[in-house]
Structure 1
């Protein structure tokens, strides 16, 4: 019986780890019930974030959808030099929540969730809940006010408090879309949440 050499085993392990760790986005992103049925551990993570930070699940999920379309390793597109040469990315935003390096560090220190990863859904949804909770304290935004919560998420609390978004009509249009999605998600979740609270094996 022949055994595979150690270098080949190591290469195989790297390939398996790399492919196994990537989570594909939900197929139907317009229906929150379908998202949670497909990703059967996401509802519990979102419910934990809601309980931790008093941030409604539809609000957090609508913000995350806008930021990354639920892509695990999302990054901003690179800038173009001379119109065609790939340049640097415009920011350090990364993962489901598109949190930047400094803001993520702030979240870990503030929440005590040290070791959190931006490409881990549980950590990312908790980050969105934490940020919305912080928006309530720093900018006096109500937990269900998706429109203003998204503006604060995009502009930062300092920018939101200075009303920088008033010079960005494109951004206010986006915030309206996020708010509308949050309302749709809320209506959908009301019809399936009792089901989602059931045992995980029912989705198999």
Structure 2
């Protein structure tokens, strides 16, 4: 006769403890070549912080790398200044002033164009977020582009505006028969 042992469970009740190892990266899986069987490193320090994956040595190396990077950037800037000085060595003072004037003129033209763009947008009622989308080299070109942009943003405004909305078509849908006043009236209408 079968004797029930509470510590001995049937196989189907013990299946929850079996895990496939097809994917070692999956939770609970382990690398078949791992001598620890997927357990954490037994030599790991007890106070290891899981939020700090680099550890103390890694942080020192990271700080050293950042310092080296900072020094190299400073060295690059210094060398760029030396190259510029070498290039400017052969130039006359007039050439240097001409280059500075050309750079200042380009900056001023860019600022004027940007200011004109915002002025046109404000005058036409375009949101300032959309002002950067205006194109054109002159104020007139920007105003024409602003008109086009307004038609796209608000189709009801301007020449392409439809003055009257469409009227409902009475032939569509159920007719306007009055509601029956009683159940008997509804039944008699149904059988007509």
TM-score (norm 2): 0.22
- Normalising by structure 1, we get a TM-score of 0.21
User: Comparing both chains, which one has the higher relative contact order based on Cα–Cα distances under 8 Å and sequence gaps of 6 or more?
Assistant: 1
**Over alpha carbons, which structure has the higher Rg?**
2
User: When you count helix as a share of all residues, which structure comes out higher?
Assistant: 1
